[in-house]
Chains A and B, each alone.
Chain A
């Protein structure tokens, strides 16, 4: 059989393809229906948070920070509850990372504040002596791309039925509604409103001035995203 295949490239290629496609069919497909259901308490990202997530991705924060708490005592002691599949239901793409050069950030919103992030992103070693993380000062001047974040919200609401403007069940039995703008101007106004709350807790005068002018620096969006990780 093998000798015959080696003289018939077409059938050889078909044979190879069937052999390599087999594992994917059995291993990957069955999970698709199961894993995408959100757990109670998981909300979609707001416009500003999503813009912050894009800043996180743009700077490949996931190259050094994981977002996956494994079910070990040492990890739950350090980072909080271990991760559940449904908590990632609105993560497109997933940001688990593959290397912890820095600590996990899955629940960083539980134990770090806006103020801490501001100082840390400006000069990490001043907050964590011995840290090898570089500073990210350009985030204080670059502006966040709210328009793209809004386009992404529209896309996921339309194609994947992500529940924007709909009640989402929370852990305490209440419901929460994550608003999505009805137009670009509306979305920008919503994001700015959220940005003002963050900027109020910050010290950098340039950032405060920018937000007062109606601009949103990347750092504000990033902190909104970090604070949402719980």
Chain B
């Protein structure tokens, strides 16, 4: 037994790979529908007048954001954890019946929560807080799923053979702790059915309804501390965990600098949480908090670029791989979009820029160059790397992968350039005064002018979705192909494994 190489067990990783792809399609498809609804309002009636309530922009919008964040991205995080965790800790899921059972429970409960979320958001049951729309029964279920994820992380760490935690594990631990803290505090709410009327009636109204523990400005403060850092601990930290594992593995290059990864990790942990205030510039939140939000957003460039530069320099001397391998292309362009997005964000957080950018489509564009270019590319690259090893088959088509890369890159570029122009145009028109000091434009003027940009954005999103279907097809064909006989090298050091 001792001399046999470790056989990793990817059962749970496979399950989450499946939801990554399915929920990715759902989230992005809804996104494309939303984009065209803004360009052509008749798309709101896509399934007819009778179902208008459920196909309407406003009802679909939370479904899009939540499907992409908590469906696609979270599944990707879980899938990669159940793959990377075993390999860097040098321990197999098959060694512990308990961890295996927890992993499966994790998946099935997650699926139940997803189903509950879809039903509740279509029905319009929402707390209205962005990315925290779920009412208290679902919140409790989310906490249970998250605790199981934590048990799974720390359980695997508990039985590890490799004593030193690899960089990716730091980031997975931070993801777990960060989201746990943020989610709990932002969703503090009181179920309204607990109240009793003076006449003694109890259990009044919808059982699932609740009211936030925080009011007005405080509620906004907690929400954007959460909202901004849900981005930090959902879209940045775990994605960095992925690239720290998958880029060195795929390229065969060692991480450029351990010290740089230390600086970026602890820097990111300390700085990120302060930056939430930049969502509330010129609001009724105290001025010093707004200023702190602005300043820390700019400081945030350092740890963000630290990670990205560490990744790009890992490719030092091996740049021919970028030309040769579509998988490396995804990761290198992903890092580049990460740099772009983490520079754009701080620029938007500067008060005078924010005065124009806030409430406009430039913010939407910023989110999407990060999520499409960085998060999406990295998760797809991770799955492309995992697929041959998990399914023991060669990737079906590298040329399809390369075509997908170019189509999606074009989609992202169309998306953010059009939203950039749309946002600045609208921001400038809102504040324009004529020679007599009156507002130069009525509000609807600033809406109709956006039509061409909304159309271009819709096309950009559609290209990305088409690319995602190519990805899904490629993975499906890989899964269902004939297995490859030769086994991979399994008894090497953590870096070489």
Q: Choose, from A13-21, A170-178, A198-206, the stretch at the interface.
A: A13-21
* B319 in the interface (beta carbon within 8 A): no
Q: Choose, from B240-248, B280-288, B457-465, the stretch at the interface.
A: B280-288
Do B127 and A93 touch across chains, with their CB atoms under 8 A apart? yes
Do B174 and A16 touch across chains, with their CB atoms under 8 A apart? yes
Residue interface bits B99-138, CB-to-A below 8 A is 1, else 0: 0000000000000000000000000111111100000000
* B201 in the interface (beta carbon within 8 A): yes
Q: Which of A80-139 contact B (CB under 8 A)?
A: 83-103, 125, 128-138
Partner of B211 from the list A28, A83, A156 (CB cut-off 8 Å) is: A156
Do A96 and B269 touch across chains, with their CB atoms under 8 A apart? no
With the chains together, A159 CA to B185 CA distance in Å?
18
Chain B residues near A91 (CB-CB < 8 A): 215-216, 219
Chain A residues near B185 (CB-CB < 8 A): 24
Interface of B is mostly: helix
Do B359 and A85 touch across chains, with their CB atoms under 8 A apart? no
Q: Which of B49, B196, B273, B284 has the most A CB atoms < 10 Å from its CB?
A: B284
Chain B residues near A95 (CB-CB < 8 A): 128
Q: Choose, from A71-79, A208-216, A221-229, the stretch at the interface.
A: A71-79
Q: Which of A22-36 contact B (CB under 8 A)?
A: 22-24, 27-28, 31-32, 34-36
Do B205 and A152 touch across chains, with their CB atoms under 8 A apart? yes
Indicate whether A151 sits within 8 Å of B195 (C-beta atoms), given known contacts A31-B286, A145-B206: yes
With the chains together, A133 CA to B283 CA distance in Å?
26
Indicate whether A16 sits within 8 Å of B269 (C-beta atoms), given known contacts A92-B214, A147-B204: yes
Task: For residue B12, give the distance in angstroms from its CB to the closest CB of chain A.
Answer: 21
Indicate whether A60 sits within 8 Å of B61 (C-beta atoms), given known contacts A19-B269, A31-B286, A72-B282: yes
Query: In the complex, which range does the number of interface residues on chain A fall in?
Result: 35 or more
With the chains together, A19 CA to B286 CA distance in Å?
23
Interface of A is mostly: helix
Indicate whether A154 sits within 8 Å of B283 (C-beta atoms), given known contacts A16-B174, A35-B218, A147-B205: no
Do A60 and B173 touch across chains, with their CB atoms under 8 A apart? no
* A197 in the interface (beta carbon within 8 A): no
Chain B residues near A154 (CB-CB < 8 A): 192, 195-197, 204
With the chains together, A134 CA to B38 CA distance in Å?
9
Do B163 and A151 touch across chains, with their CB atoms under 8 A apart? no
Task: For residue B44, give the distance in angstroms from its CB to the closest CB of chain A.
Answer: 4
Chain A residues near B269 (CB-CB < 8 A): 16, 19-20
Residue interface bits B34-77, CB-to-A below 8 A is 1, else 0: 00011001001100010011001111011000000000000000
A57-B126, A59-B124, A187-B197 known, 5 other contacts, Cβ within 8 Å: A77-B433, A137-B52, A151-B192, A152-B209, A154-B197
CB<8 Å pairs between A and B, sample of 17: A9-B173, A16-B170, A20-B177, A27-B292, A31-B286, A36-B217, A60-B124, A63-B62, A68-B284, A88-B215, A91-B215, A96-B220, A135-B44, A145-B206, A150-B204, A155-B195, A182-B199
Chain B residues close to A by CB (< 8 Å): 37-38, 41, 44-45, 49, 52-53, 56-59, 61-62, 124-130, 154, 157, 163-165, 170, 173-174, 177-178, 181, 185, 190, 192-199, 201, 204-206, 209, 211-212, 214-223, 225, 262, 266, 269-270, 272-274, 276-277, 279, 282-286, 289, 292, 296, 355, 358-361, 363-364, 430-433, 438-439, 443-445, 447-448
